[in-house]
Amino acid sequence: MTSKHQEMAEWYQRAQEEILDSMDEELEMELDDDRLSPDGGSGSVIPRNVYFKELFRLQGELVKLQDWVVENKLKVAVLFEGRDSAGKGGAIKRITQRLNPRVCKVVALTAPSEREKTQWYFQRYVSNLPAGGEIVLFDRSWYNRSGVEKVMGFCTDAEYEEFLRTVPEFERMIIRSGIILIKYWFSISDDEQYSRFMMRIHDPLKQWKLSPMDLDARRHWEAYTKAKETMLERTNIPEAPWWVVAANDKKKARLNCISHLLNQIPYQEIDHPEITLPERVHNPDYLRGPVPKNMYVPEIY
């Protein structure tokens, strides 16, 4: 075997190892999801090997979509709404996992500041809308007003009603500006939310996910249901319809959501020029200085 063929064989081996490393990364997240499941498994009807195969295929398509968005300067905004523990965050993680964070950005706004409370309600969301060549995923959005703010009394009845009256036209304005707007509601049952909350309560690595607001929301299940029904009825417009993701099965929810998202934006694979790595410049006068051993992170593994 020539040195060139040997080098290619070595790089092929490295590429295979990188693929396995990517699979390990996803497996780590899956094992973390399953760690405290009552049956020790995911509870999904989808076998793990089928799930991984489909997820990696769909993530490959997401990369193609990303290239298409960049090439055509598209502006894409995707809203993820749903009850606490419905699986929005897990779906967002799988969407962004292989994408360029400078292209696909996640927006998860904190509670508004005192100054923001005096602004036009939509103002802080508008500043986070995508520019050309960007995808923005909103982990909760302006629909906070029709959910948590309404149920927990953080807005007045007049503010709530004004939101429901205004948001359809606000979204039409967004769409007329050239932004592709897609809205998902992740739906889980009462029993499933209870199970997920209990697993988080008993998991020291996930207790941080349960804020006092989340726990209090559990008491208000029926009020949240009523608010959701009103929201879907008043804001499901032809230009920006709601899409409900059945999310009791996390794996199915992720695959179904990603597949649906890909079908909302017609895209094609972009032909990229062949990449050639330039030769490294060697300067005979350059001498690499030693790095003191005490600057290295201890190799305990």
At residue 11, does pLDDT exceed 70?
A: no
Q: Do residues 180 and 247 touch, judged by C-beta distance below 8 A?
A: no
* pLDDT at site 203: 81
What is the rounded average pLDDT for all residues in the chain? 89
What is the tens place of the pLDDT at every residue in 100-120?
A: 999 999 999 999 999 999 999
Q: With bands split at pLDDT 50, 70 and 90, how would you rate the model's confidence at 207?
A: confident
Residue 56 has pLDDT above 60, yes or no: yes
Q: What digits encode the pLDDT tens for the residues 124-140?
A: 999 999 999 999 999 99
pLDDT category at 213 given cuts 50, 70, 90 is confident
Q: Would you state the pLDDT for residue 216?
A: 79
| pLDDT at residue number 27 | 66
Count of beta carbons in the 10 Å neighbourhood of residue 122: 19
Q: Which residues contact 258 (CB under 8 A, 6 or more apart)?
A: 55, 58, 59, 62, 91, 94, 95
- Which of 134-143, 212-221, 261-270 is predicted with the least confidence, judged by mean pLDDT? 212-221
pLDDT at 34: 58
CA–CA distance, 235 with 227 (Å, rounded to integer)? 12
Query: Is pLDDT of 192 > 50?
Result: yes
Residue 173: other Cβ atoms inside 10 A: 12
Residues sharing a CB contact under 8 Å with residue 109, sequence separation 6 or more, in sequence order: 124, 125, 128, 140
What pLDDT does 210 receive? 79
**Model confidence at 205: pLDDT above 90:** no
The predicted model gives 85-91 an average pLDDT of 93
Residue 30 has a pLDDT of 65
Mean pLDDT value of segment 225-234: 97
pTM for the whole structure: 0.85
DSSP per residue, 262-273: HHHS---PPPPP
Query: Cα 175 vs. chain centroid, distance in angstroms?
Result: 21
Count of alpha carbons within 13 angstroms of residue 218, beta-carbon side? 15
Task: Please give the share of the chain, as a percent, with pLDDT higher than 90.
Answer: 69
Residue with the larger pLDDT of the pair 95 and 211: 95
Largest CA distance in the chain: 78
Instruction: Please state the rounded mean pLDDT for residues 141-147.
Output: 97
Section 233-242 average pLDDT: 98
Q: Which domains does the chain have, with CATH numbers?
A: 13-267 (3.40.50.300)
So what's the pLDDT on residue 138?
A: 98
Q: How confident is the model at residue 42 (pLDDT cuts 50, 70, 90)?
A: low
CA 210/CA 227 separation, integer angstroms: 21
